[in-house]
């Protein structure tokens, strides 16, 4: 993962409503949730939710598909893995972070 995309992903998650929405989507699993359900759960108007979901989508953190009148959003677990991998390799090197990241990351990666 490039630094540029990492920044997009971090920025997408660095917002109250979007972090909450993403967590709900993670909990929902591959089934995902319709935009309206997320808006209602978070108590934000549909247009605002749409804006935030577009951000998450642009960052590659969620995927979407229409099902009848609803548009279903689902967490993109691969992107989350990539983000965690980047942070673990580039921002946790050398020292103590291995504790929290059970994976054996013995390289520095620039």
Give the interface with DNA as residue ranges (CB under 7 A). 11, 14-17, 34-37, 39, 44-55, 64, 66, 68-71
In this chain, which of 29, 36, 60, 62 binds a copy of itself, going by CB under 8 A? 29
3-state secondary structure of 73: strand
Assigned token pair, 30:
């591959």
DSSP codes of every residue in 11-26 = HHHSSHHHHHHHHHHH
Distance separating alpha carbons of residues 22 and 101, to the nearest angstrom: 21
Binding stretches for a copy of itself (CB under 8 A): 3, 6-7, 10-11, 13-16, 19-20, 22-23, 26-27, 29-30, 75-78, 80-85, 87-88, 90-105, 107-110
């Amino acid at each position: 993962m490039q630094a540029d995309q990492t920044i997009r992903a971090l920025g997408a998650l660095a917002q109250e409503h979007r972090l909450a929405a993403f967590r709900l989507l993670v909990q929902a699993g591959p089934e995902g949730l319709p935009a309206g359900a997320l808006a209602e759960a978070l108590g934000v108007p549909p247009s605002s939710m749409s804006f935030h979901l577009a951000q998450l989508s642009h960052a590659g953190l969620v995927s979407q598909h229409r099902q009848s009148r609803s548009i279903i959003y689902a967490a993109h677990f691969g992107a989350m893995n990539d983000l965690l991998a980047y942070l673990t390799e580039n921002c946790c090197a050398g020292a103590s972070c291995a504790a929290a990241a059970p994976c054996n990351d013995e390289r520095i990666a620039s």
